[in-house]
Chains A and B, each alone.
Chain A
Amino acid sequence: MKKLLTVSLLGLAMAAGNAQARDYDHVRFGVDVPYEPMEYRTPEGELTGFDIELGNALCEEIGVTCEWIEQEWDGIIPGLLSRKYDAIMSSMTINDERRATVLFSDPYITPPSAWFAPEEADIDEPSTENLDGLTIGVQRGTLQDNYVTDHYGDVADISRYSTADDMVLDMEAERLDIVFLDFPVGKSTLLDSEEREYKVVGEMITEPKEYFGDGFGIAFRPRDEALAERFNEALATLKENGTYDEIYQRYFEK
């Protein structure tokens, strides 16, 4: 009797498991807006950006409809796990720490991180001595946050922001000495800014891999392997047929 119960429970669990790994015909993406040029709103209020356009193109390729749900960065992985949306496409770097919790697609872009400071700042190289006593801005819970916290947490003041926007605002207000950001985001929010002149300090940073990972990927719940596979195939197709390059050029080679 007990065995029968176990078997039937097992069967139930498996049936439930199957039902969860269903074939999606509608995919909800979690995204943290704004993060220009990856995801942001046009002055008309329309959601756009590299992630958004590529995501929509991928959905079209697969033949599913998709929807974008906004979520602040520091809660974006818990939101995926609690099924507020089915995937995260929000400039998320693939690294081991996150791999333990979510399933990643193949990387779709690999941008470096970079330090940005006002043009007139007399800092030319980010190092422990040079950053001593400065206020560094990062977005909370990003890999830049982890990197800065572990390397300069002892010498510098770290200000953590919920959104990249708040951080840029405080940079313009002269509350921050230097910020550490994904390069494309820093370029479009700071370098292209008309408020003040900014410069990139030191080299672009992509190492060490334990922090900077393997590029941006789409994150799924671990059990949605089939869905991730469909996105990987679609990504390969878009790269072959030129759609990817077309979107890339629109956002990065202006």
Chain B
Amino acid sequence: MEPLNQWLAALLEGNVIFTPQTLGYYWTGLVTTAQLVFLSLLVGLVLAVPLAILRGSKHRWIKLPVYFYTYVFRGTPLLVQLYIIYYGVVFVDGIQQSMFWPILKEAFYPALIAFTLNTAAYTTEIFHGAIKATSRGEIEAARAYGMSQGLTMRRIILPSAFRRALPAYGNEVIFMLHASAIASVVTLMDITGAARFVYARYYAPFEAFIFAALIYLCLTFMILYFFRYLEKRLLAHLKPLNGT
């Protein structure tokens, strides 16, 4: 740690804006953004799979509520959802005394809830589309083998739907990373929050935001790379055999 500190001090010597303190803010910002985005995507994904199946149900009273949920969350800006969840809940009578308050008190959890519900709605629609696009032949073949509906879903439909949804889902992950930039409006110190702090303190919009942009670029690059790797592995059967 010591040589690293020395190296950093030497590198930053004479730099007014990028001091160890501001770099510290960017670092905590990076950690906050990564936690927010990762957790919301994870929970959103877990929610989205059953919701996507229900969304394709034949029963109207199962299908419609899910459709309503995705419609509302895809039809309103994430910023508005965040404001409602963060500032809106405090006007609910007695919320401060309720058991939920320790969670809603922090800025992190309202943001996490808003992001999770938002990404779950989009992911549900992505998966629903992929499930619907399963070829009839595969399903009929499974039925002919005597598979039940549940087994068909589990063994045939979902695995192929996941693969088909992969490119679209990769985009959703990147959109979520970029959408997380609004977390700073509810006082969270994410990457953008750190940039706004540096901007306001040193009146240096270019340095502050370009540095933040570079961090986002790096993160996006890692996500792209990860999804390209996944696609290569999972969609290998779609490539021409002798192809390049």
Using A74-B196, A159-B187, A175-B105 as known contacts, say yes or no to A141 and B90 having CB atoms under 8 A apart.
no
Using A78-B205, A175-B105 as known contacts, say yes or no to A140 and B197 having CB atoms under 8 A apart.
yes
Least CB distance, B47 to chain A, in whole angstroms: 27
User: Does B235 belong to the interface (CB within 8 Å)?
Assistant: no
User: Does A77 belong to the interface (CB within 8 Å)?
Assistant: yes
Q: Which residue of B is nearest A73, CB measured?
A: B200
B105 to chain A: which residues have CB within 8 Å?
A: 174-175
Using A74-B199, A141-B201 as known contacts, say yes or no to A172 and B90 having CB atoms under 8 A apart.
yes
**B200–A74 CB distance below 8 A:** yes
User: Does B107 belong to the interface (CB within 8 Å)?
Assistant: yes
Least CB distance, A85 to chain B, in whole angstroms: 15
User: Does B96 belong to the interface (CB within 8 Å)?
Assistant: yes
> A146 contacts which of B101, B107, B189, B201 (Cβ < 8 Å)?
B201
Cα distance A101–B199 in the bound complex, in angstroms: 14
**Mask of B91-104 contacts with A, CB within 8 angstroms, 1/0:** 00000100001000
Q: Which residue of B is nearest A169, CB measured?
A: B87
Count B interface residues, CB 8 Å. Answer: 17
**Mask of A75-86 contacts with B, CB within 8 angstroms, 1/0:** 101100100000
Using A74-B196, A169-B87 as known contacts, say yes or no to A162 and B185 having CB atoms under 8 A apart.
yes
A77 to chain B: which residues have CB within 8 Å?
A: 203
Q: Which residue of B is nearest A174, CB measured?
A: B96
Least CB distance, A156 to chain B, in whole angstroms: 13
**A169–B203 CB distance below 8 A:** no
Q: Which residue of A is nearest B107, CB measured?
A: A159
Q: Is the interface of B mostly helix, strand, loop or mixed?
A: helix
Q: Which residue of B is nearest A77, CB measured?
A: B203
Least CB distance, B185 to chain A, in whole angstroms: 7
Least CB distance, B91 to chain A, in whole angstroms: 8
Cα distance A74–B204 in the bound complex, in angstroms: 11
A81 to chain B: which residues have CB within 8 Å?
A: 203
B101 to chain A: which residues have CB within 8 Å?
A: 174
Q: Which residue of B is nearest A98, CB measured?
A: B203
User: Does A161 belong to the interface (CB within 8 Å)?
Assistant: yes
A101 to chain B: which residues have CB within 8 Å?
A: 203
Least CB distance, A131 to chain B, in whole angstroms: 17
Cα distance A166–B185 in the bound complex, in angstroms: 10
A140 to chain B: which residues have CB within 8 Å?
A: 196-197, 200
Cα distance A110–B187 in the bound complex, in angstroms: 29
Cα distance A159–B201 in the bound complex, in angstroms: 15
Cα distance A159–B187 in the bound complex, in angstroms: 5
The A-contacting residues of B in range 171-202, CB under 8 angstroms, are 185, 187, 189, 193, 196-197, 199-201
User: Does A145 belong to the interface (CB within 8 Å)?
Assistant: yes
Least CB distance, A120 to chain B, in whole angstroms: 13
Cα distance A74–B205 in the bound complex, in angstroms: 10
Using A159-B187, A169-B87, A174-B105 as known contacts, say yes or no to A141 and B96 having CB atoms under 8 A apart.
no
The B-contacting residues of A in range 86-101, CB under 8 angstroms, are 101
Chain B residues within CB distance 8 Å of chain A: 87, 90, 96, 101, 105, 107, 185, 187, 189, 193, 196-197, 199-201, 203, 205
A-B contact pairs, 13 of them (CB 8 A): A74-B199, A140-B196, A141-B199, A141-B200, A145-B200, A159-B107, A160-B193, A173-B87, A173-B90, A173-B96, A174-B105, A175-B90, A175-B105
Chain A residues within CB distance 8 Å of chain B: 73-75, 77-78, 81, 101, 140-141, 145-146, 159-162, 166, 169-170, 172-175
The 3 closest A-B pairs by CB, nearest first: A141-B200, A173-B90, A74-B200
